Chains A and B, each alone.
Chain A
């Protein structure tokens, strides 16, 4: 028997869609959501790793959808299985270090289609299909790069900041249905996206050391659960107290 507070932090009975679930943060977020009772729809581009995520989800009835969300066809394919989703966690993304002087239109377009256009247009399709339930929660994975400047991170930072703009405006557009829109903004977390050398550099400037995927997953759980029912239009920064 659980009390009000425990229920507020539970995901039992909720259907949660997690993109980018075949790797790093997305995989851990899916696993943590399943542990708290959610029914998962996991999507990713790598069949073998997506299967591995699916295998690691506790509980029955989870679905996996192989899809490239940068294509309209991929998004259409995913939306087919999404009905009455209580939470959407956009985690698919790609980082690339590139000083502005060396930037090409091809690289920028790539950053744009993966990090910005794909999550935005997927959200649009879900809303158009009334696939997001009343009082649902939409969470975009941003980055500390959306909030602070770092040399060489311009193209990635720009797309994550762009999502912050979408978060604020969409939060107002969907509030009448009780739907919330927020971000999570992690700093350096030990995932395959980072190489060992960069992580070592990062370690020194984080008061509490580097983050673990579990730390990001816990923040995602809070923002997907009813506990954050009244939180919208913001992004939760997870950075271990990074200083410079």
Chain B
């Protein structure tokens, strides 16, 4: 190994939202394993504490916050300190057939999946909380590529992050900052369990991807790569991590 390991996150402070569950939880754990000091944010205090207890190393910070509330957003910005990276992993989903879509449902999806990461990023930038050469990563979804039943609002709210990222990356490039999206496929998380219970046919999803169902680590390691200096020259990039699910399915994936 060379003196400086480009994949190490030692000396970096990384803010991870949605750290109380699923992908966000594993991103926090894996970033800490790579040496990062983690600022973990999540809505559920008990589950956030359970993630926090698993973070290797010292000096991590946890902030219980509902990112759909402006005062909570402001508090996360305040308690983040100066970060070298942000992983926007907080998100929600709900199966609603198009005929039953309500304004409230769309507001809920966009508030959590689109507006919260946008407003948090804006808050961090406005208060100069992201260090030069920092890395901003949005967790999008292959939902807009697969087009699953009853997922219109979710797919739209996640697809919107592509547009957000493409323009954000231009605006922050002067400071050497980077902005990218990862679009994960179906990963073994509590969110997937909930979808299964809500009537989604999970058995198919497990066998559909050529490489099977993903583990939270698979997405977390991609996030580690995007947080590390190893991806120093990657920005405005949209990267599908889905075990090959969309390969035979979507020309836009």
Instruction: List A residues at the B interface (Cβ < 8 Å).
Output: 3-6, 8-9, 35-37, 168, 171-172, 175-176, 178, 180, 207-208, 211-212, 214-215, 218-219, 221-222, 227-234, 236-241, 243
Contact = CB atoms under 8 A, between A and B. Distances in A.
B23 to A, nearest CB: 12
B7 A4 contact: no
B159 interface: no
A155 B110 CA distance: 44
Given A208-B178, A230-B214, A238 B233 contact: yes
Nearest to B179: A241
B230 A6 contact: no
Contacts of B244: 171-172, 175, 232-233
Contacts of B241: 230-231
Given A178-B211, A218-B230, A9 B235 contact: no
Contacts of B62: none
Interface string B212-225: 00110110111011
Contact of A168 (B33, B214, B247): B247
Contact of A8 (B217, B235, B246): B217
B173 interface: yes
Contacts of B231: 218-219, 222
Interface residues of B, number: 42
A214 B234 CA distance: 12
A234 B210 CA distance: 13
B115 interface: no
B34 A6 contact: yes
B176 A208 contact: yes
Given A171-B210, A243-B170, A6 B233 contact: no
A8 B217 CA distance: 9
A172 B169 contact: no
Given A35-B1, A35-B2, A175-B210, A227 B221 contact: yes
Contacts of A234: 239-240, 247, 253
Given A171-B244, A230-B242, 9 more contacts: A5-B221, A9-B7, A9-B221, A168-B248, A221-B230, A231-B218, A232-B211, A240-B234, A243-B236
A139 to B, nearest CB: 14
Contacts of A233: 210, 244, 246-247
A199 to B, nearest CB: 14
B147 interface: no
A219 B224 contact: no
A133 B243 CA distance: 18
Given A178-B211, A232-B211, A6 B222 contact: no
Contact of A215 (B1, B214, B218, B233): B233
Contacts of A239: 233-234, 236-237
15 contacts: A5-B33, A6-B34, A8-B221, A9-B221, A9-B224, A168-B248, A207-B235, A208-B178, A215-B232, A221-B7, A222-B225, A231-B240, A232-B244, A238-B234, A239-B236
Contacts of A241: 169-170, 173, 178, 235-236
Nearest to B213: A230
B121 to A, nearest CB: 16
Q: Which 4 A-B pairs have the closest CB atoms?
A: A175-B210, A233-B247, A5-B33, A218-B230
A233 B142 CA distance: 14
Nearest to B212: A230
Contacts of B242: 230
